[in-house]
Amino acid sequence: MKPKRLRVGVIGVGHLGEYHVQKYKAITAADLIGIVDSDPARAELIAARYGTKVFRHHHDLLPEVDAVSLAVPTEKHYEVAKEVLSAGVHLLVEKPITYLLEPADTLIRMAKDRGLVLQVGLVERFNPAVVEMQTLLTCPVFIESHRMNVFTPRGTDVDVVLDLMIHDLDIILHIVPSEVKELHAVGMSVLTGKTDIANARLIFENGTVGNLTASRVSDKALRKIRIFQQDAYMSVNCLRRELIVTKLDGVLKDAHNFPQVISNTIQFPGRDPLADQIASFVAAVLEGSEPVVSGHDGRRALQYALAIIDQIEKGSRKFQAVC
């Protein structure tokens, strides 16, 4: 017997949705049935580029597929995702899962009741440097993340916490085996009328501290996570897909009999986190397994993102020169 192939589609083929189309086309276990977009010209362009079919509306696509990626604007996530799950179709929804917690809870409940996979597109969880870092964790004491972007109008339907910081929130919440005890946040608007620069500090019940900074008005792109634990310091460069591990040698000593500190750089050339994410989604559907980034994971990241936004909005959000 031939192995089962998953019939898939993509709803929303803008900048990110096109990449979903591209990755599905490269997966042997998936058949790309078609795409949907609110812009008919864009849909025709992408369909011609990747050799697939345009459906006029997602209502027309859903009866023909087993699973879809949803890459429409965040404001449409809940409305469309609910219809996808109601049709009995497995769902990979781009981050954030929704704008609010109650709609996220509804989607999680619908997926559970129907036995469907609900995966959230927090793609940095599939970055090979992040994956390798997790295998080396013991008990993190301090975690610091910096996620900076040069300004682009894309993604400004949400503020920088839901646009960028949510990736690092998801990673930190995933790797710290404890609940958050305290949260402190500040931020401000520079260009968009929404928060463009944000900093948050999470203090966990086990004593771990996470410090997160995100900006979408930087002069250069930066994606780094630094982790301090008893036996090592780790630096993850998500852009370069590189992990540097620094620790005591345990054998070598210097002239004063102090232990020597050594560093090892691990690189992952040619790896594609988005391709890995989509392949993982296809595998979860075919195998009936829990996705790597579940609806609950997406909901938890959203919960703390909204708490950060709430604290920021209670403070100063406008840029004011001090001199």
Tell me: the pLDDT tens digits for 311-323?
998 885 555 544 3
Distance CA 196, CA 318 (A): 10
Distance CA 216, CA 128 (A): 24
Q: What is the Cβ-side half-sphere exposure of residue 212, based on CA atoms within 13 angstroms? A: 27
Burial class of residue 275 in the structure, from the number of CB atoms within 10 Å of its CB (0-12 exposed, 13-18 middle, 19+ buried): middle
Q: Find the mean pLDDT for residues 200-228.
A: 96
Q: Find the mean pLDDT for residues 220-247.
A: 96
Burial class of residue 23 in the structure, from the number of CB atoms within 10 Å of its CB (0-12 exposed, 13-18 middle, 19+ buried): buried
Residue 251 has pLDDT above 80, yes or no: no
Q: How far is CA 72 from CA 30, 36, 58, 75, 114, in A?
A: 21, 10, 11, 8, 23
Q: Find the mean pLDDT for residues 244-256.
A: 80
Domains of the chain: 6-122+274-293 (3.40.50.720), 125-271+304-314 (3.30.360.10)
Torsion sign over Cα 3, 92, 163, 16: positive
The residues pairing with 58 across neighbouring beta strands, listed in sequence order, are none
Mean pLDDT of the chain: 93
- Identify the H or E element spanning 25: helix 15-25
Q: In this predicted structure, what is the pLDDT of residue 322?
A: 45
Tell me: the pLDDT tens digits for 115-155?
Answer: 999 999 999 999 999 999 999 999 999 999 999 999 988 76
Tell me the H-state helices in 210-319: 273-287, 295-314
Query: What SS3 state is found at 224?
Result: strand
Q: What is the pTM of this model?
A: 0.92
Distance CA 166, CA 183 (A): 15
Question: What burial letters (b/e) apply to 211-233, b meaning 16+ CB within 10 Å?
Answer: bbbbbbbbeeeebbbebebeebe
Residue 49 has pLDDT above 60, yes or no: yes
Q: Which residue has the higher pLDDT, 3 or 294?
A: 294
Residue 127 near residue 165 (C-beta atoms within 8 A): no
Q: What's the gap between Cα 194 and its chain centre?
A: 20
Q: How many CB atoms lie within 10 A of CB 246?
A: 14
The strand pair at 140-148 and 222-229 is best described as antiparallel
Structure-block tokens of residue 281: 């989604």
Distance CA 243, CA 236 (A): 5
Torsion sign over Cα 278, 283, 285, 289: negative
Q: Find the mean pLDDT for residues 299-303.
A: 98
**317 backbone dihedrals φ, ψ, rounded to 5°:** -120, -5
**108 backbone dihedrals φ, ψ, rounded to 5°:** -60, -45
Percent of the chain residues past pLDDT 90, beyond the cut? 84
Q: Find the mean pLDDT for residues 25-34.
A: 97
